[in-house]
Amino acid sequence: MHASTGAPAAPREPTIFELSRPGRRAEAQMPPRPTSNAVPESLRRRRRPMLPEVSELQAVRHYTRLSQLNFSIDTHFYPLGSCTMKYNPRGCNQYAMLPEFLARHPLAPESQGQGFLACMYELQEMLKEVTGMRGVSLTPMAGAQGEFAGVAMIRAYHHARGDHARNEIIVPEAAHGTNPATATMCGMKVIEIPVNADGDCDIEALRKVVGPRTAGIMLTNPSTLGVFERGIAHLRALVHDAGGLLYYDGANLNAILGKVRPGDMGFDVIHMNLHKTFSTPHGGGGPGAGAVGVGERLLPYLPIPVVGRDGERYRYLDERDLPASIGRLSGFMGNAGVLLRAYIYMRMVGREGMQRIGEFATLNANYLLARFKQEGFDPAYPHRRATHEFILTMKHAARDLGTTAMDFAKRLLDFGYHAPTTYFPLLVPECLLIEPTETEAKEALDGFVEAMVAIRKEATEDPARLKGAPYTLPVRRLDDVRAAKNLDLTWKPLA
Amino acid sequence: MSHNLPADLRYTKSHEWVRQNPDGTVTIGITDHAQHALGDIVFAETPEVGRELAAGDACAVVESVKAASDVYAPVAGRVVAGNGALGDAPEKINTDPYGDGWLWQLAPADAAALGGLLDAGGYEKVLAESAE
């Protein structure tokens, strides 16, 4: 029995502006009075900024309370599918926060940043080894930018060969939604192909669309359906024979880590979400790191800077070293702090650790899937093994009881669980995409199944109970429609 | 489950409906089933007037509180009108999917192509299969 089910709602924390009273100060937190007149008169504010006025203790309590309201990986099981919300080891953070890293100025001479550059060089080398690719660039600052870099390299490759007709990117419908967006951003036409009833890419459909206009295919593997793509060899042969290149969306790398390598499968380019697979704090929009790896053919086009080594010295490779590069995607070395954390994590777990990550990420997902099957829930692909994640469909509960996947998701919050991903992928009706990651203990997984069973029982006995959830959080069910239509982004309208 | 499927319309597997107008153009929207599956719609984008579409082109977007979905051209042709009223009131797609919630109008490249679309009975079968 979960104590949370009958608990009263947590009180709503007022905004800091509501706490504000004129003249209150937090002296210790005040910036020193500006003594410089460096800002020209014409650029100075005419009115005081609208800032809250609270005491130091009020500020401390306010933000402490807000932090206690967080649903986070530090406090809750967080099975948000396709997001790989694994535990972020404290040690990685600690080393990345060494003053020698923090105080390093990005414009300092390379001779004074050899330690940092050595870490980045080794990170590139480790990622090459993990993916089986020939070269790696760390500069893309998020998965989406990594994808952009990947397709931009594919385009650069065809153009360099004078092959300007190739302007189509094939995207299976089980791909991440960013894939077609990326292709469009790169000026490509998106050709969507279906997946079959078992969740595999439809090879016959692919055969019909490949040809002299094919620039490449973007494959998310394992796909968003929580299954491994089984037709890779066919798919690779079809696309390569037609003159196209193969792009591997490595956002789900956790499932294959230390087991198989996209380079060995014949892929020409991959982006990796280091913030997911290599465990840096993420969510809520960042910060990310979308390193790209390439095979032989795309080496000249890697985005700069890449870290190179001349003998004992590390240095940035720039336009002079890589004249065909697609260019610079970030001011310096991408999200350096995220890259450092990923580097430390990889050094910490090592080669054997990475294999165990792949094994336990998939074992946890398959255990959870088996438990849900036992309890009579409906997997979207009942005949398929789970990858690092899997999909349940709540369509029968929706049809028979009127309780939707969203109702289950909202009620889970009352039970102390972050909801899984809802209504993604769109291919599966009323779906929950569940990714436990390798860092959860069996007890946590069992507790989650028990909560879902309890909620299903409620749905049978009192569906209205689900419709009103959550009950224990300071904010109840939100009006999604109003929220989408009437954006309310400030505490009060600015005059 | 019973579906609201007007008999005078043509349908696609991807849940668009097509109405033949007396002037030879066709009006296109998404079906009652589709609007129900998407939930409350908060945004709709229709193709530009004058754009030439091939059958199957993703040319409109319908965004609900759950998801953003592409809407596909059921047949090839030139766009002759978009439903501007959806800008302020996209919820018309929910309340009146076959009427005020229409998306765009098309002058078909080949009027005979409409014959290749599903009738109400055929579309109902598609829905029955997907509901298993």
pLDDT at A28: 75
Return the closest-CA partner of residue A220 out of A204, A199, A241, A237. A199
Q: Cα–Cα distance between A209 and A228 in angstroms, integer?
A: 22
pLDDT at A486: 81
* Mean pLDDT of the A29-42 span: 75
Return the closest-CA partner of residue A221 out of A242, A240, A195. A195
Q: Cα–Cα distance between A120 and A105 in angstroms, integer?
A: 15
Give kind and range of the element (H or E) at residue A317.
strand A313-317
pTM for the full predicted model = 0.89
> Would you call A489 an interface residue with chain B, using a CB distance cutoff of 8 Å?
no
Chain B residues within 8 A of A481 when measuring between CB atoms: 40, 42, 65, 91
- Which tokens go with A211? 């040809």
Query: A133 to each of A234, A329, A334, how far by Cα in Å?
Result: 20, 20, 20
β-bridge pairing A431-434 and A421-422: antiparallel
Chain A residues within 8 A of B37 when measuring between CB atoms: 429
- pLDDT at A4 exceeding the cut of 60: no
pLDDT at A2: 42
Whether B42 sits inside 8 A of A406 (CB atoms) is: no
pLDDT at A192: 92
pLDDT at A157: 98
pLDDT at A465: 95
Q: Do residues A160 and A297 lie in contact, with contact meaning Cβ atoms separated by under 8 Å?
A: no
Give kind and range of the element (H or E) at residue B59.
strand B58-64
Distance from CA of B16 to the nearest CA of A (A): 16
> Would you call B48 an interface residue with chain A, using a CB distance cutoff of 8 Å?
no
pLDDT at B1: 47
pLDDT tens-place string over residues A255-310: 999 999 999 999 999 999 999 999 999 887 679 999 999 999 999 999 999 999 99
pLDDT at A6: 55
Query: A365 to each of A237, A360, B46, how far by Cα in Å?
Result: 31, 8, 40
pLDDT at A441: 97
Return the closest-CA partner of residue A20 out of A63, A60, A50, A65. A50
Residue of B nearest to A423 (CA): B66
pLDDT at A29: 67
Q: Do residues A51 and A23 lie in contact, with contact meaning Cβ atoms separated by under 8 Å?
A: no
Arch. (CATH architecture) of B10-107: Beta Barrel (2.40)
DSSP helix/strand/coil, A77: strand
A474 versus A147: the higher-pLDDT residue is A147
Whether B66 sits inside 8 A of A484 (CB atoms) is: no
SS3 content of chain B, % helix, strand, coil (to 5): 25, 35, 45
Residue of B nearest to A193 (CA): B56
* Mean pLDDT of the B46-64 span: 94
Distance from CA of A341 to the nearest CA of B (A): 33
Residue A202 CB neighbour total at 10 angstroms: 16
At A390, which amino acid appears?
F
- pLDDT at A324 exceeding the cut of 90: yes
- Which tokens go with A48? 């005081």
DSSP helix/strand/coil, B131: coil
> Would you call B85 an interface residue with chain A, using a CB distance cutoff of 8 Å?
no
At A129, which amino acid appears?
E
pLDDT at A288: 93
ipTM above 0.85, yes or no: no
In A386-415, the residues whose Cβ lies within 8 Å of chain B are 395, 399, 406
Whether A481 sits inside 8 A of B37 (CB atoms) is: no
Whether A429 sits inside 8 A of B37 (CB atoms) is: yes
SS3 content of chain A, % helix, strand, coil (to 5): 40, 15, 45
Q: Do residues A239 and A265 lie in contact, with contact meaning Cβ atoms separated by under 8 Å?
A: no
Whether B65 sits inside 8 A of A424 (CB atoms) is: no
Structural domain spans, chain B? 10-107
Whether B40 sits inside 8 A of A480 (CB atoms) is: yes
pLDDT at A54: 93
* pLDDT band for position B132 (cuts 50, 70, 90): low
Residue A56 CB neighbour total at 10 angstroms: 14
pLDDT at B66: 83
- pLDDT at A495 exceeding the cut of 60: no
- Which tokens go with A80? 């948000």
Q: Do residues A280 and A345 lie in contact, with contact meaning Cβ atoms separated by under 8 Å?
A: yes
- pLDDT at B105 exceeding the cut of 50: yes
Q: Cα–Cα distance between A210 and A121 in angstroms, integer?
A: 37
CA triple A293-A295-A296, angle to 5 deg? 135
Q: Cα–Cα distance between A292 and A273 in angstroms, integer?
A: 9
pLDDT at A45: 87
* Mean pLDDT of the B20-44 span: 95
| Structural domains present in chain A | 92-349 (3.40.640.10), 389-482 (3.90.1150.10)
Distance from CA of A485 to the nearest CA of B (A): 6
Residue A97 DSSP symbol: T
pLDDT at A396: 94
> Would you call B3 an interface residue with chain A, using a CB distance cutoff of 8 Å?
no
- pLDDT at B8 exceeding the cut of 70: yes
Chain A residues within 8 A of B88 when measuring between CB atoms: none
pLDDT at A47: 87
Distance from CA of A484 to the nearest CA of B (A): 7
Q: Do residues A289 and A275 lie in contact, with contact meaning Cβ atoms separated by under 8 Å?
A: yes
* Sign of the CA dihedral running B7, B13, B19, B24: negative
pLDDT tens-place string over residues A430-452: 999 999 999 999 999 999 999 99
pLDDT tens-place string over residues A468-490: 999 999 889 988 888 888 887 77
β-bridge pairing A168-172 and A189-193: parallel
DSSP-assigned letters across all residues of A3-56: GGGGPPPPPPPPPHHHH--TT---GGGSPPPP----S-GGGS-SS--------H
- Give the torsion through C-alpha atoms of A50, A54, A59, A63, to 10 deg: -50
Q: Do residues A421 and A83 lie in contact, with contact meaning Cβ atoms separated by under 8 Å?
A: yes
Q: Cα–Cα distance between A2 and A76 in angstroms, integer?
A: 14
Residue of A nearest to B68 (CA): A426
In A415-444, the residues whose Cβ lies within 8 Å of chain B are 422-424, 426, 429
* pLDDT band for position B28 (cuts 50, 70, 90): very high
pLDDT tens-place string over residues A111-124: 999 999 999 999 99
Chain B residues within 8 A of A191 when measuring between CB atoms: none
pLDDT at A1: 35
User: Which residues fall within 8 angstroms of residue B107, CB to CB, at 6 or more apart?
Assistant: B24, B25, B77, B78, B80
Phi, psi of A177 (to 5 degrees): -60, -20
pLDDT tens-place string over residues A334-381: 999 999 999 999 999 999 999 999 999 999 999 999 999 999 999 999
| Interface mutation target, options B66, B93, B130, chain A, most CBs of A under 10 Å | B66
Chain B residues within 8 A of A426 when measuring between CB atoms: 67, 69
Which of B37, B65, B91 is opposite residue A480, by nearest beta carbon?
A: B65
Q: Do residues A234 and A203 lie in contact, with contact meaning Cβ atoms separated by under 8 Å?
A: yes
* Mean pLDDT of the A302-329 span: 95
pLDDT at A493: 59
> Would you call B54 an interface residue with chain A, using a CB distance cutoff of 8 Å?
no
pLDDT tens-place string over residues A44-76: 888 888 888 999 999 999 999 998 888 889 899
Q: How many CB pairs under 8 A join A and B?
A: 25
Distance from CA of B65 to the nearest CA of A (A): 6
